[in-house]
Structure 1
């Protein structure tokens, strides 16, 4: 069984993009080196929206990653930088990444909004537009 984690973030203004980019690079570096990380993908979407998909050995490995290092530091800033943020997790038998259509479907049916200080009108309902699924970049273990 593998643990799947999907996140979706929308940055609310271009002025937050430089800081977000620095934090994203550090978080990705940390992820690639994290114990229990198996595979991943980053999907830049329209309107300053970014999806991540990561596969983990188990939930404990994912949780150790999210609270520490660069990712832990970035999480406190995202409440201010984002007007939409959501997350969904599940376990699956396959060790392959699901496709982005499945990630979107699960986000809408099983996901939950994360806390943001300046929510958009569709934040709580997860009523965002379907993602543009081309252009994803792999995240591979180091």
Structure 2
């Protein structure tokens, strides 16, 4: 069964946006070319909030992507650039991507909050803004 991976990130300052957007583009291109990737998309949602949604053949493919290239390079930077960061994964019966509505529901009900250097009050309280 395919694995869906969704992230929600809020960049804490506009000064980090250019680098964040560059790495987002590079990581999305990397995902689209990665072995086992079935779909990859990014969207902006509100002030400095960005979502990613990827579909993978299996967890091993997703983990291989996470630990390589631009994605691996940007992960430590996000701890400083973002004041909100969360992720959710689930197995899907469908080989196609889920809707953004389904992704949001999964995030808001089952999302895991990441460790950040400068978390927002909402993030500290495990709430979404």
With normalisation by structure 1, the TM-score equals 0.86
Paired residues for 1:104-123 under 5 Å = 104-123=104-123
Distance 1:74 1:38 in 2: 22
Q: 1:126 to 1:97 in 2, by over 3 A?
A: farther
CA RMSD for the aligned pairs? 1.1
Paired residues in the alignment total 129
Paired residues for 1:94-109 under 5 Å = 94-109=94-109
Contact 1:37 1:57 in 2 (8 A): yes
Matching residue of 1:87? 87
Greater share of helix: 2
List runs of 5+ in structure 1 lacking aligned partners.
130-142
After superposing on structure 2, the runs of 4+ consecutive aligned residues of structure 1 that deviate more than 6 Å are: none
Distance 2:125 2:105 in 1: 14
Contact 2:38 2:55 in 1 (8 A): yes
Matching residue of 2:41? 41
